[in-house]
Amino acid sequence: MVILWSRLTCTFVTSRTILLPHLHLYSRHYSKVSPSIASNIRMLNNKITHLIRSGKLDDARTLFNNSKQRNTVTWNSILSGYVRRRDLAKARQLFDEMPERDTVSWNTMISGYVGCGCTEEGKALFDSMPCRDIVSWNTIISGYAKNGRMDEALRLFDQARVKNAVTWNAMVTGFLQNGDLGKAVWFFKKMPERDAGSLSALVSGLIRNGELDKAGKILVETSCENDDRIDMVHAYNTLIAGYGQRGRVEDARRLFDQMPYQQDHERPERFKRNIVSWNSMIMCYVKARDVLSARILFDEMMERDACSWNTMINGYIEVSDMEEACKLFRKMPNPDVYSWNSMISGYAQMGKVEKAREFFDKMPERNRVSWNSMIAACEKNKKYKTAIELFIKMQLEGEKPDRHTLSSLLSACAEIVDIKLGIQIHQLVIKIVTPDVPLNNSLITMYARCGAITEARAIFEEMKSHKDVISWNAMIGGYASHGYANKALELFGVMKELLIKPTYITFISVLNACANTGLAEEGRMHFKSMVNDFGIEPRVEHFATLVDIVGRSGQLDEAMDVIKGMPIEPDKAVWGALLGACKVHNNIKLARVAAEALIRLEPESSTAYVLLHNMYVDIGQWDDATEIRMLMEKHNIKKAAGYSLVDSSSR
């Protein structure tokens, strides 16, 4: 994959990059003392550097504090550690305590300030420097540019007596970040000496600002001007990826074909396609779902890396061709964990959980994504207990869950109505992650489905202004499904007052609330509002609920008119709602119509037969009741056994 913003061209100057131009100064720090002391200090500095790179800054500071023999390099190492950790208070305290500072010390502290957006503090320190070098100027210029203060950056740029490619790149990327493309291009063209990073930075910025054609023009112009002094392959690869992201596959291919394929012996310094070029072009085809073209290019590759194989495998997965994906996977020399995870996800998306599990069990090495993919596959395909069992196994193998794991488990708890397990997962959420909006929505849904409406509402309120429409739908649906119709409708009113646009799911819950409380007129009103005010096209679920609403109120002819006027084919829920209403109001004529429609839809189900049979019995039409019974026997229809849904955690 090509990353559009190259780290090589980033204008922020870190403390690590600051140190590089000053390596010659370090030997000076050691030459002032005896060889034995210099050796001890060098060993100390190496230990401190190793601890900092290992993430043990506090241990490095302890070692620093306990050492009597230190030099400026020792102080700079600890200072750099604090800056990288963005602990500017401790960094500044250490800086102020330094017995002797060099240019590296000042540059490191300035980079810390500008990197955290404290540009004024950095500038104050810059102004206090006894001696500035080009790194000092680049650091403060890039700091202002990164923080959008291009006027100050430009003023400092003009003041700098010495400039290098980094200085110019800072201005180019600064203008690009702030959307001033004209000045960015002007500075690029005025650069006395460009490098590959300069070109890549400009191309990346233009792509981010949607100016792909301008990026292409710059690329062509630079190619004609530079006489092979710049390795342009990264810029070409960046633009190919940019075209692919916007679906301009033909433009990407044209650019790909313009790149030299083999080394030009007459111009050996000329750049040529690399493996990233091939992978980027294949990715373009995959994104366009043109796996045939992608495969042709893949087969032409002289060498491939894991990215080449995984991109092609994912291409087949995207078009649901798991057979070809599997063939390619088996040919792959050394499938990595990403390859295995892709196969698991691909089979899971197609509902082939057993096949996904087969790959999961054969994995030589799993990571968190592997576990999450398999757990999510089980949850999505209603294998809730298996999902929970996998989670237990995941913990036993020492893999820590993340928000994706927990979200899948909460969904499983909601479906099997296991509030005890749901509470345990909630405790893990609190312990492991900071809940985001999707995770809070999963918690609301879990508690609401399990009937713990108070707990669901508490989480809903804790979200404050961070709720999305799914949060509202979950809470309104929870109220509606547990008999709190008035609260559901009241919350829906608040939702509209806050100008949160409802979805079709919102109206399913709202209409259900009206049905449960017999609010026929209000139900009609909400149905019309859904269509006229919010432009939502009614789905079969909305029609089924509307039939239920008007049917329960005794308006059976109107319910039948609703069915006849449906633009889509009525399903079993629609006819079931009418049949239920007919039973309540003892309308045997319409009940027969509804029952016959249900029998056509579900010829093996006993529901319609039994309901119609009982209605005939209730009104004493024994001959008709016997006829229904004989029809059931003729078609070998058995009455379904009754069952109840209970909280599984109470077993």
* Domain edges within the chain: 488-640
Q: Check pLDDT > 60 for residue 17.
A: no
pLDDT at residue 639 is higher than 80? no
Own/partner contacts of 397-402, CB < 8 Å, gap of 24 or more, are 397/366, 399/366, 399/367, 399/368, 399/371, 400/368, 400/432, 401/368, 401/371, 401/428, 401/432, 402/368, 402/372, 402/432, 402/433
Q: What is the pLDDT of residues 89-104, one digit of tens each?
A: 998 998 888 998 888 9
Confidence of residue 221 (pLDDT cuts 50, 70, 90): confident
Q: Is the pLDDT of residue 29 over 70?
A: no
Burial category of 434 from C-beta neighbours within 10 Å (exposed 0-12, middle 13-18, buried 19 and up) = exposed
pLDDT at 14: 38
Nearest to 647 by CA among 460, 503, 450: 450
Structure tokens at 261: 């394929």
Tell me: the pLDDT tens digits for 349-378?
Answer: 999 999 999 999 999 999 999 999 999 999
Choice among 45-49, 228-232, 305-309 with the minimum mean pLDDT: 228-232
Q: What is the pLDDT of residue 343?
A: 97
Mean pLDDT of the chain: 86
Confidence of residue 9 (pLDDT cuts 50, 70, 90): very low
What is the residue whose two structure tokens read 């395909």? Answer: 381
Q: CB 619: neighbour CB atoms within 10 A? A: 11
User: Regarding predicted confidence, which is higher, 114 or 277?
Assistant: 277
Give pLDDT tens digits for 424-438: 999 999 999 989 999
As given in the structure block, the two tokens for residue 541 are 């679920």
The answer to whether 578 and 615 are in contact (CB under 8 A) is: no
Written in H, E and C, the secondary structure of 616-649 is HHHCCCHHHHHHHHHHHHHCCCCCCCCCCCCCHH
What per-residue confidence (pLDDT) applies to 263? 53
**With 70 as the cut, is the pLDDT of residue 514 above it?**
yes
pLDDT tens per residue, range 59-71: 889 888 888 888 8
Residue 391 has pLDDT above 60, yes or no: yes
Q: Please state the three-class secondary structure of 480-531 as a single string.
A: HHCCCHHHHHHHHHHHHHCCCCCCHHHHHHHHHHHHHHCCHHHHHHHHHHHH
What digits encode the pLDDT tens for the residues 610-622? 888 888 887 888 8
Region of 409 (left: φ > 0; alpha: ψ -120 to 50; beta: rest) is alpha
Copy the structure tokens of residue 642: 């009754």
**Residue 372, pLDDT score:** 96
Ranked by mean pLDDT, the top range of 145-149, 281-285, 618-622 is: 281-285
646 vs 630: CA distance, rounded Å? 35
Q: Give the model's pLDDT for residue 565.
A: 94
643 or 129, which is more confident: 129
- Residue 397: phi, psi to the nearest 5? -85, 5
Distances (CA, A) of 255 to 4, 157, 211, 546: 16, 35, 16, 57
Name the more confident of 316 and 610: 316
Does residue 128 surpass a pLDDT of 90? no
pLDDT, position 139: 87
In this predicted structure, the answer to whether residue 12 has a pLDDT above a threshold of 60 is no
* Alpha-carbon gap, residue 554 to 103, rounded angstroms: 88
Distance, in Å, from the CA atom of 105 to the CA atom of 76, rounded to the nearest integer, reads 6
Contact (Cβ atoms closer than 8 angstroms) between residue 14 and residue 117: no
> Picking from 3-12, 304-313, 590-599, which range would have the lowest pLDDT averaged per residue?
3-12
CA–chain centroid gap for 95, Å, is 40
Q: Which two tokens stand for residue 521?
A: 């007129």
pLDDT at 270: 59
Q: Which CATH number applies to 488-640? A: 1.25.40.10
Which is more confidently placed, 379 or 231? 379
